[in-house]
Amino acid sequence: MKTILDTGPLVALINLQDNYHNWTLQMLERLSPPLWTCEAVITEAS
């Protein structure tokens, strides 16, 4: 199963002060790597 990582969770993962940071960490622990994304998501997150 492939999991796609979108902008919102990526930002929450990187930003320790994001309201959803801890929730994102909890959800990512449930997933098996690899996580898939694309250049557009990385650009938008930065």
Angle between helix axes 7-14 and 21-29 (nearest 10 degrees) is 110
Q: How does residue 35 score in pLDDT terms, banded at 50, 70 and 90?
A: very high
Neighbours of 36 (CB within 10 A): 10
Q: What is the mean pLDDT of residues 1-15?
A: 94
pLDDT of residue 1: 79
Mean pLDDT computed over 16-44: 96
- pTM of the full structure: 0.83
Q: Please state the domain extents for the chain.
A: 3-45
